[in-house]
Structure formats: C-alpha cells, structure tokens
Chains A and B, each alone.
Chain A
Amino acid sequence: MKKSVKSIVVLVSICAVVSVLLALTNAVTAPIITQNEEKSANAALLEVLPDGGSFEKADITAYTLPATVTDVYLSENGGHVVKLNTTGYSSGMVLMCGINPDGTVSGTKLIASQETPSIGGAAAETYAAAVIGVDVSTAEALDTISGATKTTAAYKNAVRDALNTVIILGGGSVDLRTEEEILADALNEALPAANGAFTKHFFVEVTEGVDAIYFADNGAGAVCVVDTVDGQFIALDDSYTVITACDDTVAVAVKTAVDTVRATTTTALDLTAYAGLPEHLVKAEKTASGNYVMEIKAAGYGITGGDEYHPASGEYIMIRVSVTPDGRVIDCLTLSEEETDGIGSACADETFYGQFDGKTEETYQNIDAISGATLTTDGYKKAILRAFACVKIFEGGNPS
C-alpha cells in the first residue's frame, strides 16, 4: 500500500514540476513566437507591396465589399493589401493584391490555386506581371490570356475587386453589380409593374432603332433598349403605349417595333416538302412577312474536329436563328449546349451569339472566336452557313 502511494506521489510531483517548467518556458517564448509569425506574415505582404513598411489588419465588417475579398491589410505608407478568394478554372484560387497609396497595383501573388500548372498556373504568372501599375481606369482594358481565359478573367476580376475595395474603404462608392444585375435593375426601374420578371424577345422581324425588347411576363407591358451604349430604356404599358419620356422619333420607333413584333404570326414549314435540306435542320417556321425562323443543330467540339456532337456529352449545340428572305440574320440565340464547361460553353453567352445579328453569307465569318474554343466556334459558324443555305432552298421554292 505504502509503495503504491509513493509511486503516485512521485509521478504526480514530477508531472507538476514539469508542468510548471513548461508554463514558464511558454511564458517566455510565446510572445517571441507570435512576433516571429507576424514578421513572416508581414514578409508575404511586403512581397506584393514592397514599400508598405508594416501592416495592420483592417476592420472590414462595416463595409460592403466585393464577395471575393477575405482580408484587407493597411500598410504604414497608406497602401493596402487585399486578400481575395476567387474561382478560376476551379475554385480556391487565393491571391493577394497590393495597392499603392496612389491607387495603382504594386504587385499580386497567387498564394493557393488548383489551376492546371502548365496552363492556368503559367498564365497567372504572366498575368501577375501584367497587372502591375494598373488602376481602376485601366484594369478593365487588360486582355485575358488565350487558352487560360477562366484563370486570367478571374485574376483580372480579383484585381478589379481589390481596387474597388480600396475605393470603398476610402469612403468612395463603387457599383458592385454584375452586368446581369445592372440590366435587371434598369428594366425594373423602367417598368416597376412587371415585378422584375421579363422575357427577352427573339426577333423574327426586322426592326429599326431598337436593340432589344423585354416583355413583362405578367403582361404589364414591355421595355425596349434603344441604345445599349447609353443604356436608354423605354417602357411601354399594358396597352403598349410609350410611358417613358423620350424624343418623339424614339417613341415612334419603339412603338412601331413593338407593334411589329406583336403582330408577327408564323406558320410551320413542312421540311419534307423540300429537297436538299441539311439533316441538321430540326424545325423551320415562316413569318407572315416572309422571314424564316430555324432551329439548327451545330457541331460542337467534335470527336475529330469534324461535323459532330461533343464527345463527352453526346449533344449538339442547338441554335435558333431568324433570317430574312434575302439572307440576313435578324436574331440568333443558343438554345442549349453541352460543350466543355468554361471553354466551349461560352457559345451560350450573348456576347458570342449576338455577334451574328445583321450578318449575311458574305460577312458571317467576321466574328470573334471563343478564346480557346476554335472548334466550337467553327461548328457554330457552319450552322449559320447552313441556315443561309436553307433559306435559299425555301426561297427557291423547290417542293419535291
């Protein structure tokens, strides 16, 4: 009994003494360790803002900042380092952006990323050098790098977010809305009665002076975009009379356009009645005014770059296109696509298919290809060419 008590007492005492020893050592070393860690964190910040001196983490809870911003550090010299977490080709792209007191980018550094090293990773390195010295006014003009569009676009947006963050922290205000949000807000403002639900009209009639028409889903009227550069939005009420104050010529043009498109009627064409139509033509309609509306399959990325569907998905790209009898594209829209996400999938963006508006057989080649997706672009162009060919057959009236 006595022996076991002694064992316990000795072991507990040794433990107690060692604990005290550890506590004392910790009291001495802990502050130095914290200091060291701060110093090494500081060194990382200095890499992107070499003139920064020392840094202090800024309290950003009171500000509405771009969603990608995770931390902001204030430097001694009045500059900022913004830490951002964004999504390039894959998520988890963390980078730091240093901004000089004069609002120019002093340097950026990719801290962590899952980007393909030989493509996105290499592009990010090139890009890091390219963004040095840009400010809010020049950041938008940076070109993305072909083949790594997603990575570099994310990089560019992150830099823009960082620059905006500094403006916001400085008391300025920045429009953080995306393009879609800006459009939605403008539509809602022009016609509040629609409750924000609009459907973009697919043009099958040639209209002058109107770039786009958005019909309210609840029948409350429509909003016409008259000049996308100035972003003039003209609203019409439920009886389709112009309610937004504007020039008489504009009002007349808008009224004419809306009345024209509302009066349109189409009849389906019997495809079997025509010889020589390509098998890619799925559906065709003819308007009372003689225009053709077609749904056509376009080749995607292809198995061998030929006229095929996308090998991974087994799907074609579906296109709706309206063409005048004399062969001019009125409107073009990608209905569905299963292209490689992040590359060929850009063919579903209006910035791509909107380029075909107004094109003819002579000019349809003059469009900007999707960066890194030449085969998808070529397949799309081929489909547009087929649309022209179909119109010729329809117009030739060659019923078999």
Chain B
Amino acid sequence: MKKNSNLSIVLNGIIKENPTLVLILGTCPTLATTTNVFGAFGMGIATLMVLICSNVLISLLRRVIPDNVRIPCYIVIIAGFVTVVQMLIHAYLPDLYEMLGVYLALIVVNCIILGRAEMFASKNPVGKSALDGLGMGIGFTFALCVIATIREVLGAASFAGIAIPFLENFKIEFFVKAPGGMVVYGLLIALIGALTNGKAPKKKEFSCAGCPSAGHCGNACTANGKENA
C-alpha cells in the first residue's frame, strides 16, 4: 500500500493508528460514554463531525495562522464546531444529548482532535486532512462501539438499549461501572498489541521514530523514522 495514498490515510486512522486503541488518546470520553452502544456511537459520530470540520478548516488556514498563536486558533475553531454540533444534537437528538451530557461539550478538549490538528491538518492539504479526520473519526467510533458492545451486553444485558432476553439474569454490573470500563479498555489494547505483533508503535520510544505520527510529521527526523507501511 502506497504511503499517503488516500485510502491508506483513512485506514491508518481506523486500524494502524487507531486513536483510542493504539494512540491511547481521548480516554476520558472512551471510558465515560461506553456504557451504552447508542451513546458510544453518538459520541463517535459527534467527534467524527468535529474532526472532519476542524481538520478541513485548519488545513485551509494552515498558511494564514501564525505559528505563535496556532494553538489558540485551533482551540477556537474546535470549540466553535463542538458548540455547533452540541446545539444541533440538542435540537434534533435530545435523547442523545441527555445521555452524553457534559461529555459532549468536553469534545473540545478531546486530545484526538487537537492532536490531529497539530500533527496532520496543519501540515497537509485539505483533501488529505478531511480523509484523516474521517479515518480517525471512524477509528474512534469503531473503538468506542466495540468497548460499548462488550460493556453493555455483559453489564446491562442489552444492545443499544434493546434488552437481550437470554442474558437478563446474568448481568455483570461490574462492566458498566468505571473499573469495568478500564478493564475492557486495557484488555482491548493488549489484544490489539498482540494482533499487530508489536508492529504498532512502541510507546517506550520517545524519539521521533516512536511517535505514531512520524510518518506524517513534517520534521526533518522523519527520514530516520522506522515506517512499517
């Protein structure tokens, strides 16, 4: 697969650099909104929308925004989109709004979004940035839905709010509580690590090579980065 082809950018976010399971970003919404598949999916889609919009806009403005005020600019743009999404959800999906509560507004400080703005959108053209946002958003949504499915089915004997009659008497409440969320999350990370056979970036390497975004990083050290794809 050719590096930086459009498809590889999308797939990169979903699998190899899955923001939740590989980059371990956005853990707060991951743990908080995965008690219910409906909520997890809504959270994922809301984040996806904000990611695409903010990536596109930041990419468009990447030559205009001065380096010294880039973080405030990103935050204003991200916060603006988050508020728009929040208002839209409040108006058209009040149930989801109730369920996500404060975590919806907290998308602003979701490090995935700021991370992609800083690492990708500010250095890449609009089209690629949009695809990166799409890929990362799908990856986030996918990871959330997987965790939520495990937690909800085992912990609440239901799927997206629909009760599973067979499991009704075998609820393991632990899974819908915070510790259960951490255990499921941790096991999934371990599983991904085992499946990719250590090909996923190693967190211990704090050099450029260890950086999950080394491949897209515009810094000079990229040339020395070990790339697997």
* Interface set of A (CB-CB < 8 Å, partner B): 3, 6-7, 10-11, 14-15, 18-19, 21-22, 25-26, 28-30, 32-33, 36, 40
Q: Are B88 and A25 in contact (CB under 8 A)?
A: yes
Q: Are B66 and A14 in contact (CB under 8 A)?
A: no
Q: Are A22 and B84 in contact (CB under 8 A)?
A: yes
Q: Are B68 and A25 in contact (CB under 8 A)?
A: no
CB distance from B113 to the nearest CB of A (A): 15
CB distance from A56 to the nearest CB of B (A): 22
Select which of B61, B84, B91 is within 8 A of A33 by beta carbon. B91
Question: What is the bound-complex CA distance between A26 and B69, given in angstroms?
Answer: 27
Q: Are B91 and A15 in contact (CB under 8 A)?
A: no
Q: Are B76 and A11 in contact (CB under 8 A)?
A: yes
Point out the residues of chain A lying under 8 angstroms from B76, CB to CB: 11, 14-15, 18
Question: What is the bound-complex CA distance between A28 and B91, given in angstroms?
Answer: 9
Chain B residue with Cβ nearest A11: B69
CB distance from B207 to the nearest CB of A (A): 31
Given contacts A15-B76, A22-B84, contact A32 B66 (CB under 8 A): no
Q: Are B66 and A25 in contact (CB under 8 A)?
A: no
Q: Does B199 contact A (CB under 8 A)?
A: no
Chain B residue with Cβ nearest A28: B91
A-B contact pairs, 16 of them (CB 8 A): A3-B66, A7-B66, A7-B68, A10-B69, A11-B73, A18-B76, A22-B80, A22-B83, A22-B87, A25-B84, A29-B87, A29-B91, A32-B91, A33-B91, A36-B91, A36-B94
Given contacts A29-B88, A32-B92, A36-B94, contact A18 B66 (CB under 8 A): no
Q: Does B72 contact A (CB under 8 A)?
A: yes
Q: Are A25 and B87 in contact (CB under 8 A)?
A: yes
Interface residues of B in 30-73 (CB under 8 A from A): 61, 64-66, 68-69, 72-73
CB distance from A79 to the nearest CB of B (A): 27
Given contacts A6-B66, A14-B61, A36-B91, contact A21 B84 (CB under 8 A): yes
Select which of A7, A18, A26, A33 is within 8 A of B77 by beta carbon. A18
Q: Does B90 contact A (CB under 8 A)?
A: yes
Point out the residues of chain B lying under 8 angstroms from A10, CB to CB: 64-66, 69, 73
Chain B residue with Cβ nearest A15: B76
Question: What is the bound-complex CA distance between A150 and B51, given in angstroms?
Answer: 56
Point out the residues of chain B lying under 8 angstroms from A3, CB to CB: 66, 68
Point out the residues of chain B lying under 8 angstroms from A25, CB to CB: 83-84, 87-88
Beyond A25-B84, A30-B87, 10 additional contacts (C-beta under 8 Å) are A3-B68, A10-B73, A14-B61, A14-B77, A22-B80, A29-B91, A29-B92, A33-B91, A36-B91, A40-B94
Chain A residue with Cβ nearest B89: A29
The 4 closest A-B pairs by CB, nearest first: A18-B80, A29-B91, A32-B91, A29-B87
Select which of A18, A22, A33, A40 is within 8 A of B90 by beta carbon. A33
CB distance from B63 to the nearest CB of A (A): 11
Point out the residues of chain A lying under 8 angstroms from B68, CB to CB: 3, 7
CB distance from B97 to the nearest CB of A (A): 9
Question: What is the bound-complex CA distance between A32 and B92, given in angstroms?
Answer: 8
CB distance from B121 to the nearest CB of A (A): 14
Given contacts A7-B69, A21-B80, contact A26 B87 (CB under 8 A): yes
Question: What is the bound-complex CA distance between A15 and B84, given in angstroms?
Answer: 14
Point out the residues of chain A lying under 8 angstroms from B94, CB to CB: 36, 40
Question: What is the bound-complex CA distance between A21 and B61, given in angstroms?
Answer: 16
Chain A residue with Cβ nearest B66: A7
Point out the residues of chain A lying under 8 angstroms from B72, CB to CB: 11
CB distance from B62 to the nearest CB of A (A): 12
Point out the residues of chain B lying under 8 angstroms from A21, CB to CB: 80, 84
CB distance from B33 to the nearest CB of A (A): 21
Question: What is the bound-complex CA distance between A15 and B79, given in angstroms?
Answer: 10
Point out the residues of chain B lying under 8 angstroms from A36, CB to CB: 90-91, 94
Question: What is the bound-complex CA distance between A11 and B80, given in angstroms?
Answer: 13
Interface residues of B in 73-106 (CB under 8 A from A): 73, 76-77, 79-80, 83-84, 87-88, 90-92, 94
